[in-house]
Every structure is written in structure tokens, then in C-alpha cells.
A and B are shown apart, each in its own frame.
Chain A
Amino acid sequence: MRHVMSPLDFSVGELDKLLDLASDIEKNPAKYAHACDGKVLATLFYEPSTRTRLSFESAMIHLGGQVLGFSNAASSSAAKGESVSDTIRMISCYADICAMRHPKEGAPMVATAVSSIPVINAGDGGHQHPTQTLTDLMTIRSLKGRLNHLTIGLCGDLKFGRTVHSLINALVRYEDISFVFISPDELRIPDYIREDVLDAKGISYQEVERLEDVIGGLDLLYMTRVQRERFFNEEDYVRLKDFYILDKKKMALANENMLVLHPLPRVNEISVEVDSDPRAAYFKQVQYGVYVRMALILTLLEVEV
């Protein structure tokens, strides 16, 4: 039995296989429509999420399986003080696989120690969000045709943005990848990413404050939201949330093949006027997210189609 805590749980070869499966699902959805008949997915969401939870549920339903779970801690036994370990022991009796989102970092890993069903980390605090990374990789591979030889700009909240950390960890394993980090000083990438991932692997990167200065050299721009729930006080959030906004004027400086990705939901960091730009790929990303989660569920349940 296998769990997924980080995108690095998969080797590059395994990722290729997973993304190939997701692409096949995209092309032949009917072939997989009953692959998980009789199987149950539990979605254990201790903090609010629309996209990730519904994406998991949609994935399982499209595979013919069923779904149960909770969508916030208040409606679970966690409100009564139940530990993560006890909850997962119980859920193991109800479901065949589970996706867990938790505000505390490392909570899904605690679950893996006692779980008898595969556990997927669906986001743990500011730490990891592997299925978003799989979604991002599939979007890039499908729309760019490759995962190597890319210059990737990451913009916004790079300190608390777990999607950013997970994506960096996944992309450094491919050839000729360089990063441009665009953020205010307060929201720069954490030391452990800079030292243990980028410097340790000799990855080329630069850190800048202005998006306009670097957008012209990017193959890909990954925008992120400045998340209110990651700040300890409202004052810091209000001061920083509007720091970087992508609009038509900035898009005019970008090259014609640059893709814009965003893990969503956006607040105002991408102006709606950009939505009609053919380079805006963030809504396509959502659809790829379902395919890749379907592929992940099949892989972890060891279902052959």
C-alpha cells in the first residue's frame, strides 16, 4: 500500500507513467467510467476548500466510485478533540482510500502511520500540496509539450504558498529548469527551499521584486494568491495583498507562448481582462486536476483498466 505526501514520493519515471495515464483518461473517459465501481473515497477536509475537495469527489465519481467525508473540522469529531490518528483508524473501516486536508503541517503523515488505506495529502498547512503539483505538471506537459528546458516565473506569496514549494521540488528534477521568483521581501521563498533544494542542486534562479522587469523572459508564469489565513495579523495581509496584479498591460510585455497558471481561487492578482487571453491556462488547469486525480486514485488502488 502506498501513500502520497509529497510530489517527490514519485520518481520521474513514475510521474511520467501517472501523467500518461491521466492523458489517456482525458482522451478516453468512457473506458474508465466504471473502473472504481464499489470503491469509496473519503474526503477529510479539516479546513475549507472548494476546488481540491470537489476535484477529488468529481474524480472518484467519474471512475464509478462513491464519496463520503466532511468539509470542515467543525463538522467532524476533531471539534470534540479526536486525534488525527483515531479519525483515520475509523475512516479506514468506511472507505478504500482517503484525501486529507489539514491546517497543521504533517497531519496526513501522522495518518499514514496507522491507516490501513492509502492516504493522499490534499494540502497540509503551508507545507505540501502534491495533487496541485501533479495538476500543474500535467497542465505544463499537456500545453507546453515538455517538462524540461523551461524558465518559470513564480509570483506573489512564495513564503506561505505551499503550491509553489511543491512545484519547485517537482520541477528541479527535470533538465535545464530555471526559476524567477517575483515577490515582496516579506513573502520570499523560505530558506529551506533556497538552501536545500535550489542551492544544493545547483539550480539557476533569481529573486526580484517587479514582475514587469522579468515577464518578457518567461516560458511560464505561475501566479499565487496572498492568502489571508496564512497571516498572523490583518494589517500585514492588507498591506501586501495587492502587491502584484497581472493585467493586460503586463501581459503585453510577455512572449506569445508564455502560459499563465494559477492554483485558484484568485482574488484580484489576475485581472479578469486576462481571462480571454489565449495564454491564460488557469481554467484548463482545473480540468487537468480532475484527470490527474483520477489517475492517482487508480494508481493507489492498483486498479488496472
Chain B
Amino acid sequence: MASILNVGQLAEGFVLDHIEAGKSMEIYKYLNLDKLDCTVAIIKNARSEKMGKKDILKIECPIDFIDLNVLGFIDHNITVNIVKDEKIVEKMTLTLPKEIRNIIKCKNPRCITSIEQELDHIFLLTDPEKEVYRCKYCEEKYNRKKNK
């Protein structure tokens, strides 16, 4: 599988491997890659011994351009390879982020986020074990496990 990744072609950036098949566009959106002027390769349904099928994202950009914390919320099984000078310099372990911003929306109709202009939807991790997040403003619960 390593030859499929073709990491050598990236001077600097990320290779996101072991993405659940079909989820790469979702991650593309969450990472706001459409707003970045950089080269992105999306590989869908690549063969995988471990997963059967998987997606891969290759992103060529300075490594401080993207906040990868959100990946921990989307799927912490994704493998993140950080590439510098055409070599993998680090494999990042993903954990649940303590705070997520504008990734999920508060569904409580009584929450201030439903009317206040340009207010970020912020959720805070309140129970890492049960993977529970709560809206910063109204404490509405979002259970990541149940919403997968």
C-alpha cells in the first residue's frame, strides 16, 4: 500500500490515511480545504488490507496551515502522516478535541446560537469517556458515539 500513497511527491504537507471509505469529501469540507490554495489529492475506495476499502487525502501545504484537531472528533482512527522535505517526519495520534467550533450545530431551539448573528457554534468536551460534548452556551448535549 505504501507505493499507492506515493508520499515522495509531497514536499510538505499531510497524508491522511485509513479514512473510512466515502468520508474523504466530508473531511475535505471540515478542514476547509476548498478555501486553501494548495494541491489536494483525494483517493477514494483504495484497497486496504485492514479496512477492505478506504479513502486517502494528500494535502500539500505548510504544516501549520491546517488545524487537524477536528479530525479527532470526526474519526480518531485516521492515520495522520506529517511530511516535510518529502519524508514522513511524524505520525500524529488523534484524540478527541476539547473544543470544536462550527463543526456541529446546536439543535436546541432555545439556544442563543439560533438567533445571534455570526455566532460560532462551540461545543466543549464534558465527558471524554462517553464522548459527550455540550454546547458552550446552553449545555445542549451532543453524544458523538450515538451520532456516528
Residues on A lying within 8 angstroms of B by beta carbon are 83-85, 102-107, 109-110, 124-127, 191-192, 196
Contact = CB atoms under 8 A, between A and B. Distances in A.
Interface string B113-148: 111110100000011000000111111010000000
Contact of B110 (A125, A191, A192, A196): A125
Given A125-B138, A192-B141, A107 B112 contact: yes
Given A109-B136, A125-B138, A127-B139, A104 B127 contact: no
B127 A102 contact: no
Residue in A84, A85, A106 whose Cβ sees the most chain B Cβ within 10 Å: A106
Nearest to B141: A192
B51 interface: no
Given A109-B137, A110-B137, A127-B138, A84 B112 contact: yes
Interface residues of B, number: 19
A107 B106 CA distance: 14
Contacts, number: 54
B127 A106 contact: no
Contact of A105 (B108, B119, B127): B108
B111 interface: yes
Given A84-B112, A104-B110, A104-B116, 14 more contacts: A85-B119, A104-B115, A105-B110, A105-B137, A105-B139, A106-B137, A107-B112, A107-B116, A107-B137, A109-B137, A110-B112, A125-B111, A192-B139, A196-B126
Interface of B: 108, 110-117, 119, 126-127, 134-139, 141
A104 B111 contact: yes
Nearest to B126: A196
A104 to B, nearest CB: 4
Nearest to A107: B112
B138 to A, nearest CB: 4
B141 A191 contact: yes
B118 to A, nearest CB: 8
A84 B116 contact: yes
A105 B134 CA distance: 13
B141 A104 contact: no
A109 B137 CA distance: 7
Given A83-B117, A196-B126, A196-B127, A105 B141 contact: no
B40 to A, nearest CB: 34
A110 B116 contact: yes
A109 B106 CA distance: 15
Nearest to A105: B138
Contacts of A105: 108, 110-112, 137-139
B127 to A, nearest CB: 7
A105 B107 CA distance: 12
15 contacts: A84-B112, A102-B112, A103-B110, A104-B112, A105-B111, A105-B137, A105-B138, A106-B111, A107-B116, A109-B136, A125-B138, A126-B110, A127-B138, A127-B139, A196-B126
B126 A106 contact: no
Contacts of B134: 192
A124 B111 CA distance: 9
